[in-house]
Amino acid sequence: MEMIEDKFYTNNALISRCIIYCNEIPIGYLQYYPINSCTSNLMPLVGSSAYGMDQFIGEGNYRNRGIGTELIKKVTAFLMEAYGASKVVLDPHVENVRAVACYEKAGFQRVKKLLHYAFHEGKYHDCWLLMYTTDKKAHRS
């Protein structure tokens, strides 16, 4: 509970937090934030004017319906239009194959595998750095 309290309820004006609804039913969570030294350690990899997102659809009946892909596309477009983001980045666990496929379907590309990057449920996980940008030269493999 302490980790949940710290991660999702700590007052940080740089992080915008949202509940995802479908037909007035709360089905998930999304947060977005500018990538900087206060919000992420990805700054050296992605540079300035980048935004990060974290999200999940927690209700199983709403998975595999294309909702996640549409959500990612719309929030990415919003961040680029409203905030002038030049890049949007995600860092899903490598083993989260469903999420990686969703993000790639939404136009994100794999940039780099981040080894032992995220500590979750008692162990470190490798993550993919995925990026969406309109500048195709910015993508690396």
Per residue in 19-70, pLDDT tens?
999 999 999 999 999 998 878 888 778 888 899 999 999 999 999 999 999 9
Summarised one tens digit per residue, pLDDT across range 108-124 is 999 999 999 988 889 99
Q: What pTM, to 2 d.p., does this model score? A: 0.85
Any idea of the CA torsion for 75, 26, 109, 65, to the nearest 10 degrees? -110
Q: How far apart are CA 50 and CA 28, in angstroms?
A: 23
Task: Quote the mean pLDDT of the chain.
Answer: 89
pLDDT of residue 1: 66
What CATH number does domain 2-138 carry, 3.40.1160.10, 3.40.630.30, 2.60.40.1180, 3.30.559.10?
Answer: 3.40.630.30
In this structure, of 3-7, 15-19, 60-64, the range with the lowest mean pLDDT score is 3-7
Domain boundaries, the chain: 2-138
pLDDT of residue 105: 97
Q: How far apart are CA 98 and CA 4, in angstroms?
A: 23
Q: Are residues 88 and 53 in contact, defined by beta-carbon separation less than 8 angstroms?
A: yes
pLDDT of residue 38: 78
Q: Are residues 126 and 117 in contact, defined by beta-carbon separation less than 8 angstroms?
A: yes
* pLDDT of 141 above 90: no
In this structure, of 4-8, 37-41, 96-100, the range with the lowest mean pLDDT score is 4-8
pLDDT of residue 80: 96
